[in-house]
A and B are shown apart, each in its own frame.
Chain A
């Protein structure tokens, strides 16, 4: 927000936008053809196929929120990347996870991270959890012209609200609509499968290990049902990225713990068939 004598205010995003559209990729879409790109599948697209990030999820547990994402980027029918990260720490008490066109999504995550730090430095105070969620909604809305071209960006935002002393999850739509979820949510091409799994397994007051198990199970099911989502890669040792947000801050879960839970899950499935 700008005080009206100060043309830029405390927002880095508004400051960039005020300097002209060039440095801000999210505002203007290239005008290529009139057909939407339809999730980057070749043949149906006016834009060349671009990598898309697939499934990310957030689930509330007793200390806050656990957030996880698979590691695959998909470009049409090809795997564009096996090791990409879709879950980013944005400040000490918030995390953003991205699904959709990878380029603008990663840019949104980076810009949002700078936005929060910029505000904190200028104002000498952190934005509230609600304030962060609202600012992100405006930034998603700024991407609407690109969404019409098929470059859809759908983030999932989780923060620890230090005033309410609880973790909170926010989901968005392409128009910048912001909706709070009280239990769990998943988005991306495998989002529906992940949500179905979490719906079956979610309970209130989960422990961290239980939430981790549910998140990995949801991602595993999403990878089974959705061609865009990558499962754990046992040959290369690539497992989903998982972060937890609690009163103590944001923490990466150790890869060994994720691998162990994943392997236990796979062994159980193996016994079933």
Chain B
């Protein structure tokens, strides 16, 4: 019987990480940004029907970058988790922290056990109620989880976007118009192109709404906000 080749755990993890990073680097990017009335999410997405940003629960939104089938599967699992929790206990017991933890666990265990890691990066965002702060969690292909403040970015150009935004974003008191302009400027700069309203997917978690706070912003509204 032939012995299997020995590969050191370090080498195996490094190979998997490189594979996942390559997959994510091919994808388009997404920006999340706190503004006065909540959190804004902007994705570079030419499709009007295949979403990268979606509603998860009353005050929670989800966004995925990388391989569509993989983050779509994670999105559905998250909605089931959230709805089941809300049904079993109460709507206010569904939190982004618990969702982000669940994602981190699942993605992390797939990264260490499965031969192929998931080529995805996720953002789980919650808008605070009353004077509670917003929460932005970024989850990577290996299950690592980062608690971001103010701005966050995922996808192929995440690092460049984050550097650009950290230098320009001032405070969570900026208006929706300012936040949207800054997000689009950041995406335009790192991708070296001019993204029109049709090439963007935009949504907000609106602190001023009660119940379901998630709202998509259509291309007509984007145009009027940016003009």
Contact = CB atoms under 8 A, between A and B. Distances in A.
Nearest to B75: A122
Contacts, number: 33
Interface stretch (A73-81, A93-101, A111-119, A158-166): A111-119
Nearest to A6: B76
A12 B86 CA distance: 12
B166 to A, nearest CB: 32
Contacts of A118: 79-80, 83
Interface stretch (B49-57, B126-134, B189-197): B49-57
Interface in B38-68: 49, 51, 54-56
A213 interface: no
A70 to B, nearest CB: 26
B50 to A, nearest CB: 9
Contacts of A124: 49, 51, 54
A12 B88 contact: no
Most buried by A among B51, B86, B87: B87
Interface string B109-141: 000000000000000000000000000000000
A121 B56 contact: yes
A272 B76 CA distance: 61
Measured as residues with beta carbon below 8 angstroms from the partner, the interface class of chain B is 10 to 19
Given A8-B80, A15-B80, A121 B87 contact: no
Interface residues of A, number: 14
Contacts of A20: none
Looking at chain B's contact residues, the main secondary structure is helix
Given A8-B80, A15-B80, A122-B79, A114 B54 contact: no
Interface string B197-227: 0000000000000001000000000000000
Contact of A114 (B49, B51, B87): B87
A121 B83 CA distance: 10
Contacts of B55: 121
A114 B90 CA distance: 12
B87 A122 contact: no
Given A121-B54, A121-B55, A114 B83 contact: yes
Given A23-B88, A122-B76, A12 B51 contact: no
A12 B82 CA distance: 11
Contacts of B88: 23
Interface string A1-43: 0000010100010011000000100000000000000000000
A156 to B, nearest CB: 23
Instruction: Name the residue in B49, B79, B86 with the highest tally of chain A Cβ atoms < 10 Å from its Cβ.
Output: B79
22 contacts: A6-B76, A12-B80, A12-B83, A12-B84, A15-B80, A16-B84, A23-B84, A23-B87, A23-B88, A111-B87, A114-B83, A114-B86, A114-B87, A118-B79, A118-B80, A121-B54, A121-B55, A121-B56, A121-B83, A122-B79, A124-B49, A124-B51
Interface of B: 49, 51, 54-56, 76, 79-80, 83-84, 86-88, 212
Given A12-B87, A23-B87, 10 more contacts: A6-B76, A8-B80, A16-B84, A23-B84, A110-B87, A118-B83, A121-B55, A121-B56, A122-B79, A124-B51
> Top 7 closest A-B pairs, CB basis?
A121-B79, A118-B83, A121-B55, A114-B87, A12-B83, A122-B76, A122-B79
